[in-house]
Structure 1
Amino acid sequence: MDKNRVRKLLLVLIISSIAMYTFFYTGDIQGECTKFNMSYIYFTDESTYEYYVNRTSNSLQVISPNYFNINDDGSLKITSKLDKKFIKNMHNENVKVVPFLSNHWDREKGRKALENRYVLVNQIVQAINKYNLDGINVDLENLTELDRDNYTDFVKLLRQELSEEKEVSVAVAANPKKLSKGWHGSYDYKELSKYSDYLMLMTYDESYYGSYPGPVASISFVEESIKVALEEVPAEKIVLGIPFYGRYWNLQERIGGRGISLIKIQELIKKYNGQVTFDKKNMSPVATFIISPKDEKTYVYGRELKTGNYVVWFENEESIKSKLRLVQKYNLKGTGSWSLGQEPENTWDYYNLWLNGKYYKDIEGHWAMASILDVESKGWMKGISNTHFAPNKSLTRAQAAVTLVRILGLEDNTKEDSSFKDIKGHWAEKEITIAEKQGLIKGIEENKFAPDESVTREQMAVMLDRLLNLEKNESTEVYYKDIVRERWSYEAIVKMTKHNIFKGFNDKTFKPRQKITRAQMATLLNRISHLVE
């Protein structure tokens, strides 16, 4: 065979192989970083910094450690946390190291820094170049409207003096009420954004030390803060702040609202048998527990928790996911979190997926994807794990009961015992009991619910009929080859069909005993949403 022809044939085979590989290989979604993500790191020991970055599963583009403080005279103070090895290792992992400059709420130090800005900028530029850092995140807080112009000029100078490839970003207070005085007034969103790569919108501390108990970052507070920022800042320059902490109040103490990591909150709930509810209005979890004089002492950031009744507002998977959705809704640049090491490790199982709108790995391109996302956003159905929805898996009777209870918002509605003997200790025992007491479900026989059996089409038709309680239209009937008037589910099937909730098959059958998949359930819920909202 001619050598040129052989070469051409080999080339075609190679190109074809690459094309096939590209077609079938979807890659690791955790490594797909369309949206930007950064995190501050502050509370943990510097020897653990690399560990906490690595456990994010390649979800970070920037890590912002506490390397830069301010001296009393406004000059730069490089902290003992600075670690050349860490910087080098992060660069090897394609993670930029952008330290944050902080006055730690000290107004006088902040003002001295701005007064001394020409010298301070020069010191910062020298330090960034000396230690091969990737820029600076300016985090000066507790200044006022009197410092507004100086603050902007400081950031402008940084942008002018640092080379183009170095990041200049600014942490700014969330300002949903459009306050122009106090520390909110120190930030000129519009002007700061001109000289910054992005503004890190600190959408947290809605409740704070000294306030009444309340959410750290309710969904309305966060969303309104975004809307206000968008009036002056392009969406591609807004990074949404995500809190990895909560705040606790001892109701027997005069002042509360101290910060506490999400990890520590989980420990306290377990240790003191705490009760957790989810506030749907605020999209925030809240825990309560009691510490008695006989209990073992517990410390949070070195402070002993005294005896008393505690209320803790915090974040969990559901609340964080609701905030990550806003990045897609408003097409923001991405997210930033305060702070790395305070979050449960499983946060990174879903974080980058949700940040990038890939809510579940197994629904991309699925015919029911839109319905699944819609009912998930309503809180009616959830995935079987952080990353999978299992759309083609059969819906179980337990899952059906839980879904019906969520639709009606009855999760905390009863403490009664169920008549079903086979649900004791089941993960859905409470919801099955509630659904039973509300008349939404019945057993397959006396005292037996069969929670893990699959739901059939006719069973779901009856369940939805009980849920919706729609009037029967006597003037019309529905004909299915496999449904007779005497069938126990006939009336429900007719009503669900007439209201376009259920549909039959092309061969004029209903297939009453066919199992319902989770995707089909999502579609049914989407069809009834206007009737129950």
Structure 2
Amino acid sequence: MRKRWLTGLICGILAMSSLTAPPAEAAAKKFNMSYLYFGKTSSYVGQVDRTKGSLNVVSPNYFDLNEDGSLKITWKLERSFIDEMHKRGIKVVPYVTSHWKLDIGRNAMANRDKLSTEIANAVNQYNLDGINVDIEGMTETERDAHTDFVRLLREKMPGKEVSVAVAANPNGWTKGWHGSYDYGKLAQYADYLMVMAYDEAWAGDPTAGPVASIGFVERSIQYALKQGVPNSKIVLGLPFYGRLWKSDGTFKGAGVSNVRVPTVLNKYGANVVFDGATQSPKATFTVKESDEKLTVGYNTLTAGNYELWWEDERSLKAKLRLVQKYDLKGAGSWSLDQEEASMWNYFSLWLNGLYFTDAQTHWANSEILAMVDKGWMLGTSSTTFAPETALTRAQAAVILVRAMGLQGVTPTETAKFWDVPANHWAGKEIDLAKQYGFINGAGDNVFAPEREVSREEISAMLARILDLTAPTDGQTPFADVDPNRWSYASILAMKENGVINGYEDATFRPFNHTTRAQMATLMSRIATQLEAKSVK
């Protein structure tokens, strides 16, 4: 059982000892949305919570279309789910779909003024946050009407999200389904286009191959940019599924959720390779007559030879890198409940360009991301965060100065610590930390910038900043903290105000060092208080 000595309220930042200059501000956090279609509605909250706070928007299948193209509200719409998402700060933007029925799509476009009004009314009635247009299967004939439909939605839903799911078009096709999307004009009215960069190999495809090779995905992004879509309006759609083929032709691109893939591979002793050219995993396996027959999706795996392509950690990370490469708005996905739960250990980090391999499964993963998002912490390299490395006094000074919004302030005078030369990477922040009373020197004009920060020291620093005082009748909270110790009042104040707790054995261990992960967690819990006191 892990021991998290920090409990309470806080959100903050760290600088690295390896830096030679104060870190730059972190980029804005990337947008992340996903569709909800599979599973019982009673499982929806759990599906979202499994993402570990990664999502900004969830798009459930609340809106279908009747044969005449009018709005049909599905049985899946539940106000309780909408309320729960809003409590979590997540927007609910349902998608409207024709389920690939051409006639229904055409009827909807012919009556788009009525349909757009019906959607706008439903969005307001159910306290929804907008609409995601996902009417697929139309042709170039409906191209202009489709664009006008999105324009009408934008006009009738001020302040609400209007987004459009568009077919990936790496080959620049202008006819058929791909021709129904006018990327450039849609982007004028939509908040973003969710580029469905998957189904390179599709259901019914006679040729086995990846659902989304890296080349297919990148060319899809490039096409959108060439059509004049701002990168800030492009959301890269990722697949949480793979496809399966059987050598006798009975299975041609049958859908397989990523979460089911490990079971299949282990059950039949599959041969797995990672195809470097497409950046996609592939497996081949044989089901014998004597083997147990698994049911995958809607298909039972009978005896025969199979080929499976899907998305794993390596392939998804390659695609997430493209979000950073082209500075896109963010990522979308089809769909929740198909992914492996462990994926969320790295998804947000990589989406935001934080390729920290040592933080993916760390207990402070979400707090680390929050701190980097604040611009208060960075990694020790492009691939590491060093969460268990001890925090230094110089790092603490930088963290606190940045948390208090003082990075643009010029110190009125230097602190004149003999061990902090004028060219020290944290010299300015150390001067400011001393000037504002965050951190005192270590005596005799010494600051000791590289000395590890102990638990009692960080308690004193934060109690000072938060103006916390210990109650006069406070009881000794920990057996190993002497009431006559200089840090006693600060530790007691932090304990009484619910910021820091001790270990399970009722000790505080005041002389132990503070790790970078612990500092990230502590700062993330008092963020609101710190920001309230910061320089605006």
Settle same-fold status: TM greater than 0.5. Answer: yes
Q: 1:281 aligns with which of 269, 277, 281?
A: 277
Alignment of 1:22-37 (within 5 A): 22=12, 34-37=29-32
Q: Is residue 58–residue 92 contact of structure 2 (8 Å, CA) maintained in 1?
A: yes
1:358 offset after TM fit, Å? 0.8
Aligned to 2:89: 94
Q: Which amino acid aligns with 2:343?
A: T
Q: Which amino acid aligns with 1:109?
A: I
Q: Which amino acid aligns with 1:224?
A: R
Structure 2 Cα separation of the partners of residues 233 and 80 of structure 1: 35
Aligned to 2:116: 121
Give the fraction of aligned pairs with identical amino acids, expressed as a percent: 51
Aligned to 2:72: 77
Counterparts in 2 of 1:309 and 1:159: CA distance versus 1, 3 Å = same
Counterparts in 2 of 1:253 and 1:125: CA distance versus 1, 3 Å = same
Alignment of 1:56-205 (within 5 A): 56-164=51-159, 166-205=160-199
- Does residue 291 in structure 1 map to residue 287 in structure 2? yes
Structure 2 Cα separation of the partners of residues 353 and 101 of structure 1: 30
Q: Which amino acid aligns with 1:204?
A: Y
Structure 2 Cα separation of the partners of residues 22 and 265 of structure 1: 39
3-state SS of paired residue (1:346): helix
Q: Is residue 290–residue 310 contact of structure 1 (8 Å, CA) maintained in 2?
A: yes
Q: Is residue 240–residue 339 contact of structure 2 (8 Å, CA) maintained in 1?
A: yes
Aligned to 1:307: 303
Q: Which amino acid aligns with 1:251?
A: S
- Does residue 337 in structure 1 map to residue 324 in structure 2? no
Q: Which amino acid aligns with 1:47?
A: S
Q: Which amino acid aligns with 1:267?
A: T
Structure 2 Cα separation of the partners of residues 25 and 91 of structure 1: 33
Q: 2:218 aligns with which of 200, 214, 223?
A: 223
1:301 offset after TM fit, Å? 2.7
- Does residue 235 in structure 1 map to residue 231 in structure 2? yes
Aligned to 2:267: 271
Aligned to 1:261: 257
1:362 offset after TM fit, Å? 5.7
3-state SS of paired residue (2:346): helix
Aligned to 1:418: none
Q: Which amino acid aligns with 1:206?
A: E
Structure 1 Cα separation of the partners of residues 336 and 13 of structure 2: 36
Structure 1 Cα separation of the partners of residues 40 and 50 of structure 2: 16
Q: Which amino acid aligns with 2:82?
A: I
Q: Is residue 202–residue 240 contact of structure 1 (8 Å, CA) maintained in 2?
A: yes
Aligned to 1:407: none
Aligned to 1:395: none
Q: Is residue 250–residue 311 contact of structure 1 (8 Å, CA) maintained in 2?
A: yes
Counterparts in 2 of 1:167 and 1:264: CA distance versus 1, 3 Å = same
1:296 offset after TM fit, Å? 1.6
1:253 offset after TM fit, Å? 2.0
Aligned to 2:352: 356
Structure 1 Cα separation of the partners of residues 298 and 203 of structure 2: 16
3-state SS of paired residue (2:166): strand
- Does residue 328 in structure 1 map to residue 324 in structure 2? yes
More helix by share: 1
Structure 2 Cα separation of the partners of residues 155 and 24 of structure 1: 44
Counterparts in 2 of 1:267 and 1:188: CA distance versus 1, 3 Å = same
Counterparts in 2 of 1:389 and 1:315: CA distance versus 1, 3 Å = farther
Q: Is residue 14–residue 378 contact of structure 2 (8 Å, CA) maintained in 1?
A: no
Counterparts in 2 of 1:216 and 1:144: CA distance versus 1, 3 Å = same
Counterparts in 2 of 1:266 and 1:332: CA distance versus 1, 3 Å = same
3-state SS of paired residue (2:123): helix
Q: Which amino acid aligns with 1:308?
A: G
Q: Is residue 241–residue 256 contact of structure 2 (8 Å, CA) maintained in 1?
A: yes
Q: Is residue 30–residue 351 contact of structure 2 (8 Å, CA) maintained in 1?
A: yes
Name structure 2 gaps, 5 residues minimum.
1-9, 17-26, 360-376, 391-536
Query: What is the CA RMSD across the aligned residues, in angstroms?
Result: 2.4
Q: Is residue 62–residue 77 contact of structure 2 (8 Å, CA) maintained in 1?
A: yes
Structure 2 Cα separation of the partners of residues 342 and 210 of structure 1: 20
Structure 1 Cα separation of the partners of residues 287 and 179 of structure 2: 40
Please report the TM-score for the alignment, with normalisation by the length of structure 1: 0.63
Counterparts in 2 of 1:271 and 1:362: CA distance versus 1, 3 Å = closer
Q: Deviations over 1:311-352 (max 9, x none)?
A: 010000000000000000000000000001100000000000
Structure 1 Cα separation of the partners of residues 299 and 387 of structure 2: 42
Counterparts in 2 of 1:276 and 1:130: CA distance versus 1, 3 Å = same
1:105 offset after TM fit, Å? 0.8
Aligned to 1:48: 43
Structure 2 Cα separation of the partners of residues 46 and 120 of structure 1: 26
1:292 offset after TM fit, Å? 1.6
3-state SS of paired residue (2:174): coil
Structure 1 Cα separation of the partners of residues 308 and 357 of structure 2: 32
Counterparts in 2 of 1:301 and 1:22: CA distance versus 1, 3 Å = closer
Q: Is residue 207–residue 213 contact of structure 1 (8 Å, CA) maintained in 2?
A: yes
Q: Is residue 362–residue 391 contact of structure 1 (8 Å, CA) maintained in 2?
A: no
Counterparts in 2 of 1:321 and 1:391: CA distance versus 1, 3 Å = farther
Q: Deviations over 1:331-380 (max 9, x none)?
A: 0000000001100000000000000011107697566x35xx5xxxxxxx
Name structure 1 gaps, 5 residues minimum.
1-19, 27-31, 374-382, 393-533
Structure 2 Cα separation of the partners of residues 304 and 113 of structure 1: 37
> 77-86 or 298-307, which moves further after superposition?
298-307
Structure 1 Cα separation of the partners of residues 299 and 165 of structure 2: 28
Q: Deviations over 1:455-482 (max 9, x none)?
A: xxxxxxxxxxxxxxxxxxxxxxxxxxxx
Q: Deviations over 1:402-441 (max 9, x none)?
A: xxxxxxxxxxxxxxxxxxxxxxxxxxxxxxxxxxxxxxxx
3-state SS of paired residue (2:64): strand
Q: Which amino acid aligns with 1:37?
A: N
Aligned to 1:522: none
1:155 offset after TM fit, Å? 0.5
Counterparts in 2 of 1:141 and 1:389: CA distance versus 1, 3 Å = farther
Q: Is residue 360–residue 389 contact of structure 1 (8 Å, CA) maintained in 2?
A: no
Q: Is residue 361–residue 388 contact of structure 1 (8 Å, CA) maintained in 2?
A: no
1:390 offset after TM fit, Å? 9.3
